Amino acid sequence: MGIGVHSYSFSLKTQFAGAGMWDLQKEEPATAPAPLVKPESAIIPIVTYHSIRPHIEGESEEQERFDITPELLKDQLEYLKKEGFTTISFDKLADYFDGKTSLPEKPIILSFDDSWKNQYVYAFPLLKEYSVTATFFVFTNSLDKKNHLTWDETREMQKAGMEIGSHTKFHPYLDDITDPIELKTEIAGSKNILEESIGIAITSFAYPFGEHALASIDEVRRAGYRTARSLRAGVVQKREDLFTLRSFLTTDSLENFKRMVNRKEN
C-alpha cells in the first residue's frame, strides 16, 4: 500500500511538472508597477458665483456683476447638462494632478463664495435637481449671521455631496496682513474651525477678493490645503499652479457663460 501511494503521488507530480505547476524556476517575475504619471495641465473651467437671488430693480452695477438670478443659474445648469459637462470637486482636480485618477471628458468646477444664505435657498435645490456638485467657500465668522449660511445648512450641503472649502475667518484682504500670526489664523485657523465643526478634512481654499501674495500662498501650503482658487481669468489649469487656480466670474449673460466654459486657452 505504501509503495502504491508513493507511486501515485510521484505520478501526479510528474504530470503537473509538465504543466509548470511544480517547476518554480519557470515562474514569471512580478511585473513592476507602471511609473506614476502626473499631468502638467488640463482645460477645466472654474466658475465663481456669489449671490443667487431674484433681480432687484435699481440695483447697482456692482450688484449686477456679482449676483445672478435663480432662473439664469437654472439655464446655465441646463446648458452644461445638454453639452455633456461633468462637475468635479477641487479634491478630484488635485487627485488628477497627483496622477491618482482620470477626468471626465468635459470637466467643470462650480464654486460659490462668501457663505450667502441665498446660495442655500436658491442654488442648492437646483444643484440637487440637476445632480451636480459644487464647492462652497465659506468664511467662518459669517456662519449663523444674518443673510449668511448657518452651520446646520453648511453640514446639510456637505452631506448632500457638496464640497466645503475655506474662505478665511473674516474675509480680509490677505495682502494687507503683515503679521504672520494673523495670516495663519485666517488661513489655517479657518481650516481648523471648519474641520472641527463639520467633521471632515478641508482641503480647498479660495483667496478673498482673489488676492494671492507669496506670503498667503506659502501659508495655504503649510496649512495643509491641496488647492487654492484665485480670480485670475482663464480655463487652463496647471499642476504648478494648484495654489493659484484660474477661474472666471459669472455675469448676467448666458452667452458670456457659454463662451467662457467653451474656451480652450487662457
Domains of the chain with CATH codes? 41-261 (3.20.20.370)
pLDDT tens digits along 166-211: 999 999 999 999 999 999 999 999 999 999 999 999 999 999 999 9
Helices (H) and strands (E) in the chain, counts: 11, 12
Residues 6+ apart with CB under 8 A from 190: 139, 140, 166, 167, 168, 169
DSSP class of residue 30 equals: P
CA distance 1 to 145: 90
Query: Which neighbouring-strand residues pair with 67?
Result: 51
Please give the model's pTM, rounded to 2 decimal places. 0.85
> Among the listed ranges 25-39, 122-136, 139-153, 245-259, which one has the minimum average pLDDT value?
25-39
Torsion angles phi and psi, residue 214, rounded to 5: -55, -40
- Residue 156 C-alpha cell reads as 446639510
- Residue 266 C-alpha cell reads as 487662457
Cβ pair 175, 183 in contact under 8 A: no
